Amino acid sequence: MSVNNQNDKAEFQSRQFYSSYLLKELLYRWGRSLFVIGGVGLAVSMVILLPVLGQGFQSLAQLPFKNLDADLVVQQSKTESALPETMGLMIPYSAQPVAEKKWSSLRNIEGVTQVMGTVLLWNFAPGKFFSVSGIPLAPDVAVESGNNEDQENLIGPGRVKEWLIKGRMPESDKHEALVERHYGAFYKLKPGKTLEIGGEIFTITGVVDIQKGSQIASANFYLDISEARQLVKMDPGQVNQLFLRVSDPSKADAAKDAIQNILPNSSVVSADSFLSLLGTLSRLTGQFQQVTTIVAGILAMLLLIVFLRGAIGERQREAAILRAIGWNRKQVRKQLSAEAAFQGLIGGSVGVLLTWLAAQALSTLKFSLPNGLQKSNDPAAFLGSKYVAPAVEANLPLSIDPTLWLIAPITTAAVCGILGLWLAGQRLKGTPWGKIRA
């Protein structure tokens, strides 16, 4: 029993000595320790920051579709000039009518759970341009949206009921309309006022404030879809703007291909379509997130090897002295590996801290969100309209997963410990006397 107790005591003293030596060594060479910890932190931050940026840009690009409760927006274009030949109300060249039978077939595409059609119209007048959106207002929502859900579940601009800030919703077949807040303020339009649209007089019943990001499907006026069709003599059931919801984002690309097979001249817009508008960095971190993360991981691993190799290289003489006074090669490797792991633990925490600070700084950046599906839908681009829609900006939404504060340091410590054990083995080859002389 006494022999076992002595062995346990010796083992405890040995471990205590290793820990004490580790801390004294790191503090004695504090400059080198800070250099290694800083390098490890930089490598860890590089690996973490790219996915965080990618997720932030993805969230920013998805903001318009999130507020519209849709995943895809479809328009069928016509290969003609976007400039009008005559003044007055017209169907945009970028959004041509689609027969009900044709667009209803989009519901059969795998992954598509809801399809809703609207009517987008342009009105041209000297020095003045406005857009009109015909949306389902009548109780028979199933005819327009393809389901038996009530009006609360409409998607796209059909959600204007949620954006209503003054007045009431218009009623179908009553020649009533809603006005967008900024446009209404510019032209002094408010509930009770009347205006002419396509030769018909409409009464303003309410004012809507478009949710941030939803401007890709916004209009200056909203009225019943059947009345919008009558203004330009569209056939019953026809629409020229489609909003689709898919069950799983991973099925969006397949749905796009299927849509373009059914509507050959159509443009299908999704969140990924807007990533390119946010800049090169957004495309690299958003669309190619896996590739950039792998590349960053490889570069980070190379950095770790460089920093640890230099640190262990400086310890060759001390390691040789330890072996000369009785330590075996395994004990020295274990000691150097423990030092590398401890530096990795601190460096991992520093890396998360650097990432958090960078995320806080980058979150203050503002990015312009698109005001329309494409430039040809922008009212300000025609006839020198006096009214210019205000720019829509949003901060880059960046956040750090709280679990990273625990996972990153532990993972980095394990990686650095393994690398330290391997590098120590490479560096400690040869006799102790040879290392001391070198």
pLDDT tens string 195-234: 999 889 999 999 999 876 666 778 899 999 999 999 999 9
Confidence band, pLDDT 50/70/90 cuts, at residue 373: low
Q: Is 259 exposed, middle or buried (0-12, 13-18, 19+ CB in 10 A)?
A: buried
- Inform me whether the pLDDT recorded for 332 exceeds 90: no
Output the pLDDT for position 427.
Answer: 64
Average of pLDDT values for 171-189?
92
Output the pLDDT for position 46.
Answer: 85
Average of pLDDT values for 69-91?
74
Taking the C-alpha atoms of 307, 313, 315 and 320 in order, what is their torsion angle to the nearest 10 degrees? 150
In angstroms, the CA 153 to CA 275 distance is 27
Higher pLDDT, 429 or 96: 96
- Inform me whether the pLDDT recorded for 375 exceeds 50: no
Average of pLDDT values for 248-268?
86
In angstroms, the CA 122 to CA 231 distance is 11
Output the pLDDT for position 16.
Answer: 41
- Inform me whether the pLDDT recorded for 335 exceeds 60: yes
Q: Is 155 exposed, middle or buried (0-12, 13-18, 19+ CB in 10 A)?
A: buried
Percentage of the chain exceeding pLDDT 90? 27
Average of pLDDT values for 237-262?
88
Confidence band, pLDDT 50/70/90 cuts, at residue 13: very low
Confidence band, pLDDT 50/70/90 cuts, at residue 286: low
Output the pLDDT for position 141.
Answer: 43
